[in-house]
Amino acid sequence: MKKIALIPVLLMAGLLNFYGCTSMNTAGSGTQNSNVMLNTVQSVLKNGTQSAFDVFGDQNKFMTNALIDAAMPQKLKDINSKLESLGLSQVVEKEQALISDIANASINTARPIVTKAINEMTPQDAINIISGGKGAATQYLKGKTYNDLTTAIGPVVNKQTESLGINSLLSNALGSNNSSLNAILGTVLGNGTATNTTELLNDAITKQLTDGLFSIVEDVENDTRANPSTILNSILTN
């Protein structure tokens, strides 16, 4: 039965380049085509989110992923740069390893949110996405879930930063004897108090995880657009 589904998908190979779809929408078999488009876009997003969760669940992949690194908020980058300049690279490595543990802990919270949004997509949503150009599917998913994700992931981050000791790690590295680092901390994070540092650190990690997730999804989407035949494998294995 799955082989039969290849026919409309193959006919729609150009669709995966996400060209305009007006002619498909107006054809006599518009409903069937719309459903194929819906299944295709959903498959792309499912692949993208699964790729993100695969990275979140693997410490080595998380710590070496360029998209995750690029998603790190500038304030956290500034702190890490200062730590490294003071010969505390091992503290940065430990911090990043702990953040990867938080990413792993966030998977079960994030997955149902994005899955629900993907499953609730309509054929018209898919048509709009396909004609929307690069990144349109990711932007759709981001618009549907970003606030819910940050709201849901935030408490996970707060709990994990405390239980894993990230705040203690940075507090020790930024101890009272290190006036130079305390000074840069005050510049980067505001007043530099423990409460402020903890709150802003948690916000930064939450933002990195959420933005990193969507960066990976978009990377998968754009790769699929550039290589439309890859969707065949994803549809056959779903």
Domain assignment present for residue 140? The answer is yes
- For 93: left if phi > 0, alpha if psi spans -120 to 50, otherwise beta; the answer is alpha
Lowest mean per-residue pLDDT among 21-30, 134-143, 150-159: 21-30
For residue 155, being part of any structural domain is answered with yes
Look at the chain and report how many structural domains it folds into: 1
Question: Does 1 fall in a domain?
Answer: no
pLDDT > 70? residue 192: no
**Is the confidence at residue 8, as pLDDT, over 80?**
no
User: Is position 32 within any domain?
Assistant: yes
Of the ranges 24-28, 57-61, 83-87, 178-182, which one carries the lowest mean pLDDT score? 24-28
Q: How sure is the predictor about 115, in pLDDT bands with cuts at 50, 70 and 90?
A: very high
The residue segments making up the domain with residue 19 are 6-237
Give the mean model confidence (pLDDT) for residues 227-233. Answer: 65
Answer yes or no: is 13 within a domain.
yes
Are 161 and 198 in contact by the 8 Å Cβ rule? The answer is: yes
Q: What percent of the chain has pLDDT over 70?
A: 69
pLDDT of residue 113: 98
Q: What is residue 83's predicted lDDT score, i.e. its pLDDT?
A: 79
Phi-psi label, residue 227: left if phi above 0, alpha if psi -120 to 50, beta otherwise: beta
Say what percent of the chain tops pLDDT 90: 44
CA atoms within 13 A on the CB side of 93: 5
Q: How far apart are CA 146 and CA 113, in angstroms?
A: 9
pLDDT given for residue 19 in this prediction:
41
Does the pLDDT value for residue 35 go beyond 70?
A: yes
Q: From CA 170, how far away is CA 99, in angstroms rounded?
A: 13
What's the pLDDT at 201? 82
Q: 115 lies in a domain? A: yes
The HSE-up count of residue 5 (CA atoms within 13 Å, CB side) is 15
Q: Which two tokens stand for residue 212?
A: 């990193």
- Sequence length of the chain is 238
Stated pTM of the model: 0.78
**171 pLDDT higher than 70:** no
Residue 109, pLDDT > 80, answer yes
Q: Is residue 207 part of a domain?
A: yes
Tell me the mean pLDDT in the region 4-11. Answer: 37
Tens digits of residue pLDDT in 196-229: 567 778 899 999 999 999 999 999 999 988 887 6
Residue 6: pLDDT band (50, 70, 90) is: very low
How do residues 176-185 score in pLDDT, each as one tens digit?
445 555 555 5
| Distance from C-alpha of 107 to C-alpha of 135, rounded to nearest angstrom | 23
Mean pLDDT of the chain: 79
Greater confidence, 79 or 8? Answer: 79
